[in-house]
Structures are given as C-alpha cells and as structure tokens.
Amino acid sequence: MMDVKRIISKIERDYIISNLRKEERIDERGLWEYRKFRIDSDVIASAEGSADVSLGETRIITGLKYEVGAPFPDLPDEGVCTVMAELLPIASPLFERGPPDEQSIELARVVDRGIRHADCVQTKKLCIKEKVSVYILFVDMYVINYAGNLIDAGAVSALTTLISAHVPEGIWNEEKGEAEWTGKYLTGEYIVNELPLVLTYGKIEDIIFLDPSLPEELVSDGKISISVTEDKITSIQKSGAATFSIDEIKMLGSKSVEIGKKLRKELNLLQYLTKID
C-alpha cells in the first residue's frame, strides 16, 4: 500500500487541525458525531445472511457462509464464527491487489474481537453433535468504497449480517453417521445474543474525535477503537503512533457506552432479523 501520509498536503492538514481546535470539522460535524449510517440487509441471494452498510461514503458489503466440520478439540460442543475482510482495489487508489495487508487484518481482527468478546454469537447453539460436527460460520467483509473509518462500518455490517442469518438447520443421523438438513433454519434471533458496536476515535496532536473521515484519518497520529455492549466495554484496540492517557481512555470508555446506547436505538438492528414462515 502506498504511503498515505504523502497524499495530504501540509496546508490541508493545518486546515483540518485548525477546525478541530474550534470543535468544527470539514464536513460540519461535531467532534462526537457520526456520519449517517445507511443499512440494507439480505442483499446477496446466495448467502445465508448479508448486509450493505454505508457510513458516510464508506461502504462495506458483507456476506455469511457456512460449512459443517469438526469442532476444535478444546471446544468440543461449540461451533465457530470467523470474520475476514478484503479491501477491493475499486474501493480506493490506496488499495492494491495481493495478500491481506495490515489494514485489512486490523479491520477483520477488531470486528471479530468485538463480536467474540461480547458473547454475540451463541457458539454452543452451533453444535450439531458434540466432538463430531459443528457449524463453521464465515463472515466475509468486502470494502466497496473507502472514505474513512472502516472498522465501525464493518462492525455494523458484520452484525447486521449475523442478525439476518438463515442457516439450514442440521441434526445428526446416527445411522448414516452424518449431519442432515431438517428443512428448517437457524436464524439470527436464535444465533445472536449481544449486539456489540465498535466506536473509533481519531487523534491529532491533543485533539480526539469520533468517526474520522478519510482526510482526518490520513493526517491523524493514530486511533483507538472501543467495542461496547449496552453497558460494558468488551475490547479496545489502538493503532498508530498516538498515545492515550489513562484519563483519556476512561473518558472515551464512558463516552463509548453513552454514544453506543444512542446509536443502538437509532440503528434498531433487530429490525433486520430474518422472518421465516
């Protein structure tokens, strides 16, 4: 990936910082304000759940697929849910073809960690036969347009995809020694427990702000992403050279729970639960 720090001029950087110091932003938001989310679910007919999520101009399409396989030896009665991300070259001139780079790995891991540590996916409900057969869910995120803050957009896209899930229900046939389909489905209502959101903050010098746009990301010293449920923090990830004091982290933790509650109500993600007659 090209050096993104070289594509923003010093004049633009100074302009962005000058506005942030006045608690203003180049897109007219406040320091603690999100860009607009737009969500569509069940957009991929061939997937077992999907979502098309935009945060401002950032856009991520996510699909859910599954396999039936053996569980991990240390988790014999639990299924598996794994999150992956791909930064498509059409999304930005900053993205190049090739193996996953640092940014795509960070996107997948931070979203995955938020889901995993929040007890979002009920993995025990993904067990078909203990020690023998479980569901393995793959949540694949594809970045369609990059305009800053992939992590928060990806988290909502992954969560909406899981909520809209409709995975064929399997039971174990002892005589055949294999799993077989019952004709019913495991839906998001059955699979999903908690609704973790990830809130990402950029930092430039001593200024901290929510949901960095692309120009803000390109001039930021670093960022911090905080995953929250309704009432607690489940994970924190920092990247970049910026440092955050203990007081700043405590402040951002409280603010994340507060903003998360408001955002959760606004998004109303449970409306995307799949209804199967």
Residue 208: which CATH number?
3.30.230.70
**What is the extent of the structural domain holding 45?**
4-272
pTM for the model: 0.93
List beta partners, residue 181.
Answer: 170
Does residue 105 belong to any structural domain of this protein? yes
pLDDT given at position 126: 96
In what helix (H) or strand (E) does residue 63 lie, and over which residues does it extend? Answer: strand 58-69
Asked whether the predicted pLDDT for residue 5 surpasses 70, the reply is: no
Please tell me the predicted confidence (pLDDT) of residue 1. 42
Report if residue 103 sits inside a domain. Answer: yes
Residue 146 is assigned to a structural domain of this protein = yes
> Residue 5 gets which letter from DSSP?
G
Q: Is residue 33 situated within a structural domain?
A: yes
Q: What's residue 2's pLDDT?
A: 43
> What is the DSSP annotation of 135-176?
EEEEEEEEEEE-SS-HHHHHHHHHHHHHHT-EEEEEEEETTT
| 74 is a domain residue | yes
pLDDT at 3 over 70: no
- Residue of 35, 6, 21 lying closest to 200 (CA atoms): 35
Q: What pLDDT is attached to residue 186?
A: 95
Asked whether residue 18 is domain-assigned, the answer is yes
What's the number of domains the chain is made of? Answer: 1
In a domain, 277, yes or no: no
Q: What pLDDT, in 10s, does the model give residues 46-75?
A: 999 999 999 999 999 999 999 999 999 999
Spatial neighbors of 270 by CB under 8 A, at least 6 apart, are 163, 195
Q: What are the tens digits of pLDDT across the range 81-133?
A: 999 999 999 998 888 777 777 889 999 999 999 999 998 999 999 999 999 99
- 61: nearest Cα among 176, 142, 152, 156: 142
